[in-house]
Amino acid sequence: MNKHKASVLMRHEVGLHARPSVKLTKLAKAFESKIDLGLSPDGPWVDAKSIVKVMATKAPKDSTIYFRAEGKDAKAALDALVMLVDGDFQDGP
């Protein structure tokens, strides 16, 4: 299996609250890979496809979000999630 890791700075003004969490989990669910999210490179990790678990992280503005994914589309999943967070959770162009 393909395993990948990535990290990105949370720049959203209010951090990982409801709307960004919904966008993140919706995007994560579009991929087959197992995707985890953490606020430290060593965890603890939560399922990035679970809105309740993602919101429970309460990631504040200027924190680093770490992702790890395992599966055939792991790299594509992390690339998309990093782009979403780095783009301040804005919809496409």
**pLDDT at site 49:** 99
Check residue 93 and give its pLDDT. 47
* Domain definitions of the chain by residue range: 3-86
Catalytic (active site) residue 17: yes
Q: Report DSSP state, residue 61.
A: T
Q: Is the pTM of this model over 0.85?
A: yes
Q: What's the confidence (pLDDT) of residue 45?
A: 98
| Structural fold of domain 3-86 | Histidine-containing Protein; Chain: A; (3.30.1340)
Q: Using 70 as the pLDDT threshold, list the residues of the chain that sit under it.
A: 1, 91-93
* 20 to 3, 13, 77: CA distances (angstroms): 25, 11, 16
- Catalytic-role residue among 17, 23, 53, 75: 17
